[in-house]
Amino acid sequence: MSDTTSAPATVHHEDTGGDGRPVVLIHGWPLSGASWSDTVPALTAAGLRVITYDRRGFGQSDPAPDGRYDYDALTADLADLIERLDLRDVSLVGFSMGGGEVARYIGTHGEDRVRSIAFAAAIPPWLLKSDDNPDGGLPREEAEKMQAGLRADRESFLDDFTTNFFSAGGELKVTEEQRAQAMALAGQADLEAAVACISSWLEDFTDDLARVTVPTLVIHGDSDAIVPVEVSGQRTHEQVAGSELVTVADGPHGINVSHRDEFNAAVVAFLTK
């Protein structure tokens, strides 16, 4: 049973406004809502109202008031934002770690306010590789090594991480300037928040996905070195009946930047159905 007793954090958000249907974009780790800068214009051009926000402890949002970074706490922030803005008929798009909030929101709060959802290079259904989940992609000990590496030398860790984030087949698929922009966003994150969220990636979203009935898009790069498509995207597609799977050829993890036009076209087509 989810523990939703965490008090929501006051998170920084941006809202394009307008009369269009609302879309909430939920960013990946260790970035912020600003990481959607290549996608927001395409969605607004399609007549949609776009809301981005910074996860607690990331970007311009304060660290967790209760020290919690588990998905029940993180999703409380999303639910609070949706309710404060009174969003209805909303679409939720979660990139990477952001897919966890999308799944947990449905699992905890249901679909009354939700029109559709999208998982972009996202971590559900269950990233942890274990005896109970042999098809997972990240053993707990590897997650702990990542946490230790981030604490020991943050800049070096993020340099390597952002390189892998945007690489496919060992080749960087974005410009060095684009990678540097991601590094700068990552540098804004609170260290304790960034470390704690690595543990949260290992949570199981299987039961949350079982509650999904709204239209669902799964979009994933076929060469994702951070969250492999066979570990996450393919399995989410299989678990959510009627979901649409779009696989981006030669796509790394950060497909919203590396394959901007292809990514935006697929997301816009889905959201405007």
List, in order of start, the domains of the chain with CATH numbers.
13-271 (3.40.50.1820)
Average pLDDT for the chain: 96
CA–CA distances in Å: residue 128 to residues 54, 160, 192, 198, 261: 25, 21, 21, 11, 31
Q: Span 13-40, mean pLDDT?
A: 98
Catalytic entry in 6, 32, 61, 96: 96
Closest CA to 81 of 43, 61, 51, 48: 51
253 is catalytic: yes
Q: How far apart are CA 256 and CA 85, in angstroms?
A: 26
Catalytic entry in 13, 220, 237, 253: 253
Q: Is the pLDDT of residue 1 over 50?
A: no
Q: Is the pLDDT of residue 38 over 60?
A: yes
Ranges of beta strands (E only) in the chain are: 13-15, 22-26, 49-53, 90-95, 114-120, 128-129, 138-139, 167-168, 171-172, 216-221, 244-248
CA–CA distances in Å: residue 30 to residues 22, 25, 26, 27: 24, 15, 12, 8
User: What SS3 string covers 80-114?
Assistant: HHHHHCCCCCEEEEEECCHHHHHHHHHHHHCCCCE
For residues 37 and 4, the model is more confident at 37
Predicted confidence at residue 137, as pLDDT, reads: 96
Predicted confidence at residue 6, as pLDDT, reads: 65
Q: How far apart are CA 204 and CA 208, in angstroms?
A: 8
